[in-house]
Amino acid sequence: MNFLVLVSGNGSNLQALIDAERAGRFAPLGAGNGAASPEKEGRIAAVLSDRAGVFALERAKTAGIPALTEEPDRRLVQPGERQRDLSRRILCAAREWKADLIILAGFLSILRGEIIREYEGRIINIHPSLLPKYGGPGMYGDRVHRAVLAAGEKESGCTVHLVDEGTDTGSILLQRTIPVLAEDTVETLAERIHQEEHVAIVEAAAAMVAKLRKPE
Ligand code: GAR
């Protein structure tokens, strides 16, 4: 079962997936049982970034995983047109790498069009808030934590959800919650939520592998 992992930056969530794969977390019956039926084991087939030179690509190369870059075409001035063009190229990569599951692990472009339909129920995204709060266009990364602190929220966390035609609107697969502390800054809150994300993305990917695995 092939994963195509989409990234835009540091790639700590990608690293969690790489480490989990090595630990056998995507094997059929849990750790250590993958060797018996490798075709049913989840594996990162390729990593694709929408920005050149990001550290996530280095993490992929270090792990021996093909690292691809597909940047938005700046000549396309309409955001919708640019998103659809990038989405088409990502769909080509997904087909080429025979992806069964597409994982948005800190991916900051919006997917639109055919890829959403062709991979319906097989694209997951991690978001650093308790959706539906603090999601939608323009809400990503530290902007989310800044908004959570400004609103005086008592808790925050992360969400893994299926990707649909909207932005951060697909069915929620799982959430992890942490308290917001009085002394929290954007940096401390982001750091603690990142730790939760690394658990959540692995749990969600493992659950998807179990769900999508073809029956015996
Ligand atoms: C993560 O916090 C992820 O939830 C967020 O970007 C960060 C990437 O970190 N994604 C979004 O905001 C998507 N809307 P990483 O590159 O270290 O995995």
DSSP 109: S
Among 204, 142, 139, 140, which Cα is nearest to 172's? 204
Ligand 1: list residues with CB < 6 Å.
Answer: 9-13, 56, 105-106, 108, 126-128, 140-141, 194, 197
Q: What six digits make up the tokens of 143?
A: 């902007």
Helix (H, G, I), strand (E, B) or coil at 187: helix
pTM of the model: 0.95
Q: Which atom of ligand 1 is nearest to the CA of 16?
A: 18
Distance of CA 75 from the midpoint of ligand 1 (Å):
26
Report the Cα–Cα distance between both ends of the chain, in Å, rounded: 14
Distance of CA 128 from the midpoint of ligand 1 (Å):
7
Digitized pLDDT (tens) for each residue of the chain, 216 residues in all: 999 999 999 999 999 999 999 999 999 864 455 455 666 799 999 999 999 999 999 999 999 999 999 999 999 999 999 999 999 999 999 999 999 999 999 999 999 999 999 999 999 999 999 999 999 999 999 999 999 999 999 999 999 999 999 999 999 999 999 999 999 999 999 999 999 999 999 999 999 999 998 665
Select from 3.60.20.30, 3.30.413.10, 3.40.50.170, 3.40.50.1000 the CATH code of 2-126+160-174+199-212. Answer: 3.40.50.170
Angle of the 12-22 helix axis to the 186-212 helix axis, nearest 10? 40
Q: What six digits make up the tokens of 112?
A: 């639109």
